[in-house]
Structure 1
Amino acid sequence: MNESQCSELLEEHGIKPTANRIVVLKELVKALHPITLSELEYKILSIDKSNIFRALTLFREHHLVHVIEGGSEGVRYELCHSHDHDHDEDIHPHFYCEACQKTYCLDYTEVPEVQLPKGFEQKSSNLMIKGICPDCQSK
């Protein structure tokens, strides 16, 4: 994704494109797996950790990224593939490999619907499955 495409995507989500936000977005696009703040900081040497975190927080508020909680390294970030800029309709489970510590998106696996007791209102969900990935099983 080039700079103008990044700017356009940010604007579509109601985010003013700045140089820092474009750099952070480019790294998120390049990431093959959900990525941690520390990994982004390592890849983006030109921006300090607090500015990267602020960009991620803004992206989350505007449904450009979603947060994956769990695994050994805490929170990971991933681009939303949602077409709705007000809601994150890109809900899918994730798999955490306990051997290599990578987190994988299970894009085409449905999250089971949970019937909440009366009076409870769901705002978000996070399904993390833990085990051993195929690469680590074959070693």
Structure 2
Amino acid sequence: MKKDIDNKLQSRNIKPTAMRELVLQVLTEQKTAISLPELEQKFEKADKATLYRTLKTFQKNKLIHSIEDGSGSVKYALCQEACECQPDDLHVHFLCTNCNQTFCLNDIPVPTINLPSSFSLGSVNMVVKGVCSNCDK
């Protein structure tokens, strides 16, 4: 497992460190996106600044992506293997209004945005809100 984690880090040109390995392990185990405060709870003794820098390094190297789902807290999730975080790679996110969990809907791409020629696309964030399958039971 450690070898898989290290390979994933190295494939994105991220030098493996103990903290990076631990954070990636936690992110790999998540079924939903996770916020920095939620991550901090999993690492009670870790320095908050180190966790934040680790997430920023992962994001800069396109290992994870951030989601602004309107909940007031930025959440993070692993990118797909070939993701370059370009508009063609983007997918829809689902925020459950009951449990406040954010899910990546990897199989639903963000629709193409045809901007006027004088505009340039910087980023796209599409969040669908409703009740997830876990809460709907």
Q: TM-score, normalised by structure 1?
A: 0.89
Question: What percent of counterpart residues are identical?
Answer: 38
User: Contact 1:37 / 1:53 at 8 angstroms: preserved in 2?
Assistant: yes
* CA deviation after TM superposition for structure 1 residue 135, in Å: 3.3
Whether the aligned pair in 1 keeps the contact of 2:69 and 2:102 (CA below 8 Å) is no
Contact 1:34–1:77 under 8 Å retained in 2: yes
For structure 2, the residue ranges without an aligned partner over 5 or more in a row are none
Where do 5+ consecutive residues of structure 1 fail to align? none
How many residue pairs get matched? 135
The corresponding residue for 1:105 is 104
3-state SS, counterpart of residue 113 of structure 1: coil
Matches within 5 A, 1:63-74: 63-74=62-73
Residue 73 of structure 1 and its aligned partner are, at CA, apart by 4.2
Aligned to 1:43: 42
Post-superposition Cα deviations, 1:79-126, rounded to whole Å, max 9, x if no partner, equal: 001415xx2254110111111111112121121111011122213211
Aligned 1:16-31 pairs, distance under 5 A: 16-31=15-30
When structure 1 is superposed on structure 2, of 116-125 and 48-57 the one drifting more is: 116-125
| Equivalent residues of 1:71, 1:103 under 8 A apart | no
Would you say 1:13 and 2:12 are equivalent positions?
yes
**Displaced runs of 4+ in structure 1, greater than 6 A?**
none
Are 2:113 and 1:117 aligned? Answer: no
Q: Give the letter aligned to residue 122 of structure 2.
A: K
Residue 12 of structure 1: CA displacement? 1.1
The 3-state SS of whatever aligns with 2:90 is coil
Q: Secondary structure at the match of 2:65?
A: strand
Aligned AA for 2:77?
E
Query: Which residue number corresponds to residue 60 of structure 1?
Result: 59
Residues 66 and 78, structure 1, Cα contact 8 Å, conserved in 2:
yes
Conserved 8 A contact 1:82-1:88:
no
Q: Which residue of 2 aligns with 1:79?
A: 78
**2:95 matches 1:96:** yes
Question: What's the CA shift string for 1:22-61, capped at 9, x where partnerless?
Answer: 1111110011100011111111224221101100000000
What RMSD in Å do the two structures reach over aligned CA positions? 1.5
Amino acid at match of 2:11: E
